[in-house]
Amino acid sequence: MFSTFSNRKKWIWRSMGVLTLFGLLAFTEERLHQRHCEAIVVNIDKVDGQRFLTRRDVTGFLTNNGNDPLVGQSFDEINLSKLEQRLGQYSLIKQAHVSRDLAGNLLVQIEQPSPLARLVADGDGLRAISGQYISDEGRFFPLSMNYTARVPIVSGSWFQTHHTLADEAGKPLLTLLQYIRESDLWRAQIAEVSVDQSGNVTLWPQVGNYQIDFGTADAIETKFKKVKLFYTQIAPQKGWDRYHRVSVQYRNQLVCE
């Protein structure tokens, strides 16, 4: 008898707990719908400890430079998905996530693109696309007044007809730039990567008056092993000023002139 009474009592308490929980959820949901945007809180990730964007930049993007104010607006009237789409239109923003908290803040999380190289002009044909970074995804994005990334320069007539590395034609060059970034040695040594109309690559070192004829951007690891051989065995013995050209483009050949 007592067991039946005890079980019934537990069932009543559990039912009351569930009803209370649903009541609190409904109350919270209603309060959230009634809330207005109190403030915009922007969090921007860093690239090498720096930011291409400022919080003011992001707020300007969100509000259409103040023409579409958000602070004071009811959250019922704010479409978070559309705000994310608006931010995604800016090439200095790789990804954006917009949400809200219980205090009435609009929370904006920004992920910036990571630069692999900086494209510079190589004659009049590149003026329209010069002065841009190339991201680790192979896409171009503009320079920033807030931060200058220390990355290799990329130039050459190849870019007159190719405006992205995020396709099949650009994939080999993107892989080459990624290889350089991931190597402490070559990231420190390679200052510029020049690509001609046929896709042949020339590397220019940070120090020295010689060029490295790399050929097409394939067999990357094998070719850099030959470049390393020049750095560690040939140049120290023969002299760094003796050669003006080093070629690693042909299989089983290392040519120094």
Annotated domain spans of the chain: 39-111, 115-256
pLDDT digits (tens, 9 = 90+) for 101-155: 988 899 999 999 999 999 987 654 444 456 799 999 999 999 888 888 899 999 9
Cα torsion for 108, 53, 166, 226, to the nearest 10°? -130
Establish whether domains 39-111 and 115-256 are of one fold. no
Indicate the pTM of the whole model. Answer: 0.79
CATH number attached to the domain at 115-256: 3.40.50.11690
pLDDT digits (tens, 9 = 90+) for 72-105: 889 888 999 999 999 999 989 999 999 999 888 9
| CA 218/CA 202 separation, integer angstroms | 13
> Hey, which CATH number is domain 39-111, 3.10.20.310, 3.10.129.10, 2.40.30.10, 1.10.760.10?
3.10.20.310
